[in-house]
Amino acid sequence: MKYRQLGSTGIKVSEVGFGAWQLGNARDWEGMEDNQAIRLVHEALEQGCNFFDTAPNYGGGNSETLLGQALSGRRSEAVINSKFGHHPDNNLDFDSKKIRSSVEESLRRLKTDYLDSILLHNPPFEILSGSTAHFQVLDSLKQEGKIRAYGASVDSSGEMDELMRNTGSQVIEVMFNIFHQEPRRAFKLAAEKNVGLIVKVPLDSGWLSGKYDQNSIFTDIRSRWDQDQLRKRAELLPVLKEMLEPGESLVQLALRYILYYDEVSTCIPGNKNLEQLNENLSPSGNRLSIEKVKKLEKVWEEKLQTDPLGW
pLDDT value, residue 105? 98
Give a yes or no: residue 91 inside a domain.
Answer: yes
| DSSP 8-state class, residue 223 | G
Whether 114 is catalytic: no
Q: How confident is the model at residue 213 (pLDDT cuts 50, 70, 90)?
A: confident
Catalytic residue, chosen from 3, 58, 114, 260, is 58
pLDDT tens figures, 122-162 = 999 999 999 999 999 999 999 999 999 999 999 999 999 99
Q: Would you say residue 210 lies in a domain?
A: no
- Cβ-contact 1, 14 below 8 angstroms: yes
pLDDT of residue 28: 59
Q: Has residue 212 been placed in a domain?
A: no
CATH number at residue 113: 3.20.20.100
Is 229 within a domain? no
- Distance, CA of 296 to CA of 277 (rounded, Å): 24
From residue 251, give the alpha-carbon distance in Å to each of 53, 143, 200, 288, 290.
19, 40, 14, 13, 18
What pLDDT was estimated at residue 283? 86
pLDDT tens column, 236-291: 999 999 999 999 999 999 999 999 999 999 999 998 899 999 999 998 878 899 99
Average confidence (pLDDT) over 208-212? 87
For residue 200, what are the CA distances in angstroms to 125, 231, 255?
A: 19, 23, 11
Give the Å distances, CA to CA, from 83 to 58, 60, 172.
10, 13, 11
Express each pLDDT in 224-250 by its tens digit. 888 888 899 999 999 999 999 999 999
Contact predicate 223/212, CB 8 Å: no
Pick the range with the lowest mean pLDDT from 21-25, 53-57, 115-119: 21-25
Q: Residue 265: enclosing H or E segment and its boundaries?
A: strand 264-267
Is the residue at 162 inside a domain? yes
| Residue 254 host element (H or E) | helix 250-259
The boundaries of the domain holding residue 44 are: 3-205+249-286
What DSSP line would sit under 52-93, residue for residue?
Answer: EE--TTGGGGHHHHHHHHHTTT-GGG-EEEEEESB-TTS-B-
Looking at residue 177, what DSSP letter applies?
B
Q: Is residue 191 part of a domain?
A: yes
* Residue 218: band (very low, low, confident or very high) from pLDDT cuts 50, 70, 90: confident
pTM exceeds cut of 0.85:
yes
- Give the separation between CA 109 and CA 65, rounded to whole angstroms: 5
- Flag whether 226 is in a domain: no
Say how far apart CA 270 and CA 41 lie, in whole Å.
12
Task: Evaluate whether residue 102 is within a structural domain.
Answer: yes
Number of folded domains that form the chain = 1
Q: Return the pLDDT at 33.
A: 82
